[in-house]
Amino acid sequence: MNDAPRSVRIAVGLWLAIAVFVLFTTAGLWFQRGEIERLSGRPPADVTNFLVALTVVAVIFAALYGLLTRLLVKRKNWARVALSVVSIVHMIWLLLVGVSTANLVVLLLICVAIVFTWQARTAQWLAEVREQ
């Protein structure tokens, strides 16, 4: 990773930041469970089921980001494509769940991470492995 260009280091940092932010945001929802029950008017069991589903999805996305970022650092070119596909699915998921400040932050981070992941210097760095 020390030989990686700045664009790669920024992309890696952004992907990992997204994973951590998603996990912390989801954990924060558990602390606001009572408020969610009050605002939604749903029974506690429904809110719990909703939070469990959100948590499972968040852990899956965070794990995928972590794994694929690690593979990107190992110069696996296909990891770039996989990160992009996972992030697009994640963006669709966020839009389906609903608009919130946290979701908008994640959407913005994903967009910036994709830009750095697909910069020419990143592609060149990944191609150097194939040339050796």
pLDDT for 73-116, tens place per residue? 999 999 999 999 999 999 999 999 888 899 999 999 999 999 99
Length of the chain: 132
pLDDT of amino acid 3:
82
pLDDT digits (tens, 9 = 90+) for 47-60: 999 999 999 999 99
Q: Residue written as tokens 């980001």?
A: 65
Stated pTM of the model:
0.91
> Can you spell out the DSSP letters for 70-99?
HHHHTT-HHHHHHHHHHHHHHHHHHHHH--
C-alpha 52/C-alpha 29 separation (Å) is: 10
Hey, where are the domains in the chain? 6-131
Which pair of tokens denotes residue 69? 């970022």
Which pair of tokens denotes residue 30? 């558990």
